[in-house]
């Protein structure tokens, strides 16, 4: 019986010292297209290098994160990359919405070059 009580006290105290993890979940939305979800966009945590892709609803999630502040970096082809700070607390899921804007290309710097090739084959 003493051994059982000792083991029980040991495991309970060990659980008290275990680090509690939190998580981040969110959605990526296109701000210019009436907040439609961005499918398969890349979301990265700058501090850990962890990456996920958003699903068909623009949803993403990172689990098992230690308490602290993290920088989310969201990118998608044809859109401006966006960063956002998120504070994670133990045993909580921080819900975020990230709105990406389509990137614009200035045509002022675009030059079209037309050249013709002369046929140099001898007959």
30: which DSSP letter? E
pLDDT in tens, 1-27: 666 454 544 444 444 445 689 999 999
Sign of the torsion angle spanned by Cα atoms 57, 36, 22, 42: positive
- Name the fold adopted by 19-103: Immunoglobulin-like (2.60.40)
Other CB atoms within 10 Å distance of the CB of residue 59:
13
Position 116 confidence tier, pLDDT thresholds 50, 70, 90? low
pLDDT for position 14: 44
pLDDT in tens, 70-110: 999 999 999 999 999 999 999 999 999 999 999 986 666 65
pLDDT for position 99: 97
The whole-model pTM stands at 0.70
């Amino acid at each position: 019986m003493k051994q059982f009580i000792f083991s029980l006290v040991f495991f309970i105290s060990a659980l008290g010292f275990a680090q509690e993890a939190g998580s981040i979940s969110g959605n990526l939305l296109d701000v210019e297209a009436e907040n439609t979800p961005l499918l398969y966009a890349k979301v990265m945590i700058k501090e850990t290098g962890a990456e996920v892709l958003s699903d068909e609803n623009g949803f993403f999630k990172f689990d098992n994160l230690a308490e602290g502040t993290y920088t989310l970096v969201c990118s998608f082809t044809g859109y401006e990359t966006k960063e956002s700070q998120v504070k994670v607390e133990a045993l909580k899921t921080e819900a975020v919405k990230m709105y990406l804007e389509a990137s614009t290309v200035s045509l002022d710097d675009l030059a079209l070059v037309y050249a013709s090739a002369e046929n140099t084959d001898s007959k």
